[in-house]
Amino acid sequence: MKKGIIVTSFGTTYKETRELCIDSIENRIKDEFKDSLVLRAFTSRMVINKLKKRDNYHVDTPTEALEKMKENGIKNIFIQPLLIIEGIEYEKILREVRDFLNENYDFNIMVGKPLLYFESDYDKVAEILSLDNNPLVYMGHGSEHRADISYKKLEEIIRNKGFKDVFIATVEGERTIEDVIAELKESSLDRVALKPFMLVAGDHARNDMASDEDDSWKSMLEKDGIEVDVEIKGLGQIKEIQDIFIEHLRIARGDMNVY
In angstroms, the CA 252 to CA 111 distance is: 7
Exactly one of 58, 141, 145, 248 is catalytic; name it. 141
* E strand segments, 145-190: 166-170
Measured on CA atoms in the order 232, 237, 238, 241, is the torsion positive or negative? positive
Selection from 178, 118, 127 nearest residue 150 by Cα: 118
The residues near 99 (Cβ < 8 Å, ≥ 6 apart) are 63
In angstroms, the CA 54 to CA 79 distance is: 28
> Is 141 an active-site residue?
yes
Q: Is 102 exposed, middle or buried (0-12, 13-18, 19+ CB in 10 A)?
A: exposed
**Paired strand residues for 109:** 77
Give the three-state DSSP class for 219. Answer: helix
Give the three-state DSSP class for 90. Answer: helix
Phi-psi region of 124 (alpha: psi -120 to 50; beta: other; left: phi over 0): alpha
Which residues are identified as catalytic?
141
